[in-house]
Structure 1
Amino acid sequence: MTQAAARTLVFPLRLLAALILGGLWPLAFAPFNAWYLAIVLLFGLFWLAVTTERPRRAAALGYAFGFGAFCSGVSWISITLHNFAHMDWVLAGGAVALLAAYCAIYPALALWLATRFFRDNIRLLVLPVLWIFAEWSRARLFTGFPWLATGYTQTHVFLGGFASWLGQYGVGLATAAFAAILLWILRESRSRQVLLGGVSALLLLSGLALAAGSVRFTHPTGQKLRVSLLQGDIPITEKWNNAAIGHILHHYVQLILQVPKNSQLIVLPETAFPVFQTEIPGLISQLQEWSAQNHKTLIIGIPEAAGGKYYNAAMEIDGHAPLRWYQKEHLVPFGEYIPLPQLLGPLVHHFLPGLGSFSFGHGPYVLPVDGQKAGMTICYEESFSRDVRKGVGEGATFLLNISDYAWYGHSIAAAQSMQMAAMQSRQQQKPDVRDTNTGITTLISPDGQIRTQLPQFVTGTLNGAVQPMAGETPYGRWGSLPYLLLSGLWVLLALGLTRRQSSSRQ
């Protein structure tokens, strides 16, 4: 084989390597929890990037990695499309590939920028910043999609110590920097000075993460709150069947009546009552009376009809007090609302009639519970740190999420979501109460540890207690601003070094 032919074969092999690295990316996340793989896989991708001098080829490598990561990491979306939109598996898989094709643009852009404007080890210096900034952008543009962000892999390990200071993007930056430092050591392995500097940098980064994670910004307030979380395990096919509504309501009422006498808060999952509140005034009145007699607060997932609009909502019953509501604000595109409805509405309604009819909620973001405040989110809102911060900004002393992952069957979606919820607890240093229809229903401590949970796909009640926490973490107060400032300074440093390098060569 000639040298030219060998060179022709090299790049396709590198593309294949990037695709394989991306395909392995979900293993770093729950439920597999191989957190160290995030460092290993980024090490491999960064090596491919720094040994490629053409920006377009670097972008192709990033695209291949991203495409592989999202095709394997969010393949559970095809379950919903096949089972409930009645798409053929091939068509459902094609829809997942289309989403992956969009998400892959961000890592491709990160590697293109790094290769276009930086050289040699300076490129390695800036790659972690551009990589995580691409993830931050993906979570914000076009309503956002934060799945498979690097920082979430470190939720339960030492690099997660940066969470309360810089959020999960700061954690991701530390993770990517870890990989870049290891690669720098390998590339300059003949230099004892680099070896010493690299090992020192890794030890410093690890020490800072451990020290950062030991600082407590929040403190207990009031007595522990005794909670009962009801997991109804209602199949989706039954949940939205009009003939089954009476059975579903009776099912949940029986679970409510069986909670321990000392429970103060009873939580039902997202759309546990699959009817509008205007359709069951008698049942709501009875629950108000029961709540008053037994001194218990109920938070029930139920669609709300108000002012000619419909909301995916949580209704709070606190005795005879007026009903309080939390309306979901961050809706799922193509599920709860349809972007460009005149253009795309007919296509969506062909597969899923009636979907896309919810309106956007607009606060408040907390519900009062026995002198405390529950920071509310519904479903995948808890995956967005900026949504969780809204409740914290209104004084939430604990987080509360209601969800329904029955749409995704026996997949990894629920575990991925729980890992992101645990990161939210660690970022805010507040406990999280999560109630879902089919699991994973759980209580999460302020340091992000899973305290207790129910098995999936069983009917049950999770009884426990959470200690409300007052105060704000730096991340809770300033959000991503410190992370963005740090990233900006990092890029300015890299640009300065690049200019100096160019001047010395001239």
Structure 2
Amino acid sequence: MKKGLRLRWRWGLAVALGACWPLAFAPFDLSFLAIVLLLALFWLSDAVTPSAAATIGFAFGFGAFAAGIYWLAIPLHNYAHMSWLLSAAAVALLALYCAIYPALSLWVAAKWWAHSRLFALPFLWIGAEWLRAHLFTGFPWLATGYSQTWSLLGGWAPLLGQYGVGLATAGVAALLLFLIRHRANRRKAVAAIGGIVLLYTGAAFSQDIQRTARMHKQLTVRLIQGDVPVTEKWNVAKLSAVLDTYVKLILATPKGTNLVVLPETAFPVFQTQVPGLLRNLQRWSAEHHTNIILGIVEYAKHHYYNAALDIDGLAPWHWYRKQHLVPFGEYIPFPQLLAPLVHHFLPGLGSFTPGDGPSTLNVKGLKAGMTICYEESFSRDVRKGVTQGASFLTNISDYSWFGHSTALPQSLQMAAMQAREEEKPDIRSTNTGVTAIISPGGKIQDKLPAYFRGALNGKISPRKGKTPFGDYGDWPFLIGSFLVLKILRVGWKDHQLLHLRRKESK
């Protein structure tokens, strides 16, 4: 009975700790809290059976995601016309799915690394996050590394990406717990302190090394934020007013601007529906020597694409088609089974086709690494443009679906991490926020207030070259994690064998 009570107490505490997890991320930015919460979770799951460890991890994960992605209920209620209860249930269902991954990491640690679980846990914890970002198209939100975007540990990003940053964060938590347990053992305490110092010192050195080089050419950019409500954007009766809003903001572009960027689906029509307007924009682009990157829905060969159109004077158009689509938003998984249910709430939803072709657009002899909305939260999607020669990053988004929620600052934080990983400037044009210019080091150079109609004018300095993460992606992290886990497992077996031999010799 007492054992059952103790386990239920751990479950309750794990849910409460998980609910605090979003506080480590934007807009709260309590980055140190990620370390504290992981330390507490590792302590809770220690010295329990694998099944108990899994349930503790599951409880933590459910609390974290239920609190951290609550904003998904907003479009379900406001635009799919679900009740708040049904919307909350849908979010809870996703939170239950996401909770499987922390549960898996703690179960594996207790099952196969029982005697070295504290050292294995950081690798397994981040490995599970990597799986969550890849399986079933992936969902990387609230990954540990993103909590450290603007902290010292974020200095590992150009070397190992955000998963390497997450590993350093979880590593500090594990070492702190080891230090607390063995504070009376001088040798172990010094080793733990040395490990923590090494992780922070390495991050400090890493962030001071410039791996890409500033190019001589500067770009003057204008990032437009239309602040068009969803209810107006897709209302046919409001179409003329929406297009007029963006045209006026384009025409107000200061002389000498190299690039104007409009948000995702700023023009909520097919390119075939507004040929005259697009020709006029071509002429304006030619007269002002200004590129325009425009979010618009492309219709081509009986397919619909969420796309970005590059207008460079009278030159032929170039397109970037969104490649990583949002499930249940831009496409429907298992359409024969789920399409009738989804279309009951949102008729016609999920009809986009994944894009193909390059992940860059040409701007004044340079390449812009392109992503649209959700793609910017995936390091692997951003990296595609960099491997194709991008010297700066560009994202167009529309987060107006999520209202005044934490989705907006969280997306900005992830964008800043991508800039830090690739050591490239990043420009974002969004419908309602957060429109921003981000430095190659991940700092926010300038931004517009959310839910403000206007434009952000500024300059960026494109950079050539690639970081180690830009070159190799997640492979160093994955290979290194596998090797360490293998060493821990083999090392424990050798230790057991040596112990048995000593006993036999006595």
TM-score, shorter chain, exceeding 0.5: yes
Q: Distance in 2 between matches of 1:7 and 1:246?
A: 67
Pick the aligned partner of 1:106 from 85, 101, 106: 101
Q: Distance in 1 between matches of 2:257 and 2:281?
A: 15
Pick the aligned partner of 1:36 from 32, 35, 55: 32
Residue identity matched to 1:16: G
1:126 and 2:97 are equivalent in the alignment: no
Pick the aligned partner of 1:419 from 413, 417, 425: 413
1:335-484 mapped onto 2 (5 Å cutoff):
335-484=329-478
* Residues 216-241 of structure 1: per-residue CA shift (max 9 Å, x gap): 11011132100001100000000000
In structure 1, what is the equivalent of residue 196 of structure 2?
202
SS in 1 for 2:70: coil
SS in 2 for 1:303: strand
Shift in Å at residue 119 of structure 1? 2.6
Pick the aligned partner of 1:171 from 142, 151, 165: 165
SS in 2 for 1:355: coil
1:249 and 2:249 are equivalent in the alignment: no
Pick the aligned partner of 1:24 from 11, 20, 25: 20
1:22-421 mapped onto 2 (5 Å cutoff):
22-52=18-48, 54-120=49-115, 122-421=116-415
* Residues 83-110 of structure 1: per-residue CA shift (max 9 Å, x gap): 0100000000000000001010011010
8 Å CA contact retained: 2:256, 2:288: no
8 Å CA contact retained: 1:146, 1:384: yes
Residue identity matched to 2:22: P
8 Å CA contact retained: 1:119, 1:498: no
Residue identity matched to 1:478: Y
Q: Distance in 2 between matches of 1:334 and 1:201?
A: 44
In structure 2, what is the equivalent of residue 494 of structure 1?
488
8 Å CA contact retained: 1:302, 1:314: yes
* Residues 52-99 of structure 1: per-residue CA shift (max 9 Å, x gap): 1x1100000000000000000000000010001000000000000000
Shift in Å at residue 505 of structure 1? 4.6
Q: Distance in 2 between matches of 1:442 and 1:355?
A: 29
Residue identity matched to 1:64: A
8 Å CA contact retained: 1:388, 1:424: yes
Q: Distance in 2 between matches of 1:200 and 1:299?
A: 49
In structure 2, what is the equivalent of residue 9 of structure 1?
5
Q: Distance in 1 between matches of 2:31 and 2:7?
A: 29
Cα RMSD after superposing both structures: 0.8
SS in 1 for 2:136: helix
Percent identity of equivalent pairs: 56
Shift in Å at residue 130 of structure 1? 0.2
SS in 1 for 2:228: coil
Count matched residues. Answer: 500
SS in 2 for 1:435: strand
Residue identity matched to 1:377: T
SS in 2 for 1:245: helix
Extract unaligned runs of 5+ from structure 2. 501-506
Residue identity matched to 2:357: G
Residue identity matched to 2:77: H
Residue identity matched to 1:12: R
* Residues 151-198 of structure 1: per-residue CA shift (max 9 Å, x gap): 011111111111000000001000000000000111112211111111
* TM-score normalized with structure 2 length: 0.98
* Residues 202-228 of structure 1: per-residue CA shift (max 9 Å, x gap): 111111111111111101113210000
Q: Distance in 1 between matches of 2:78 and 2:224?
A: 25
Q: Distance in 2 between matches of 1:76 and 1:498?
A: 45
In structure 1, what is the equivalent of residue 503 of structure 2?
none
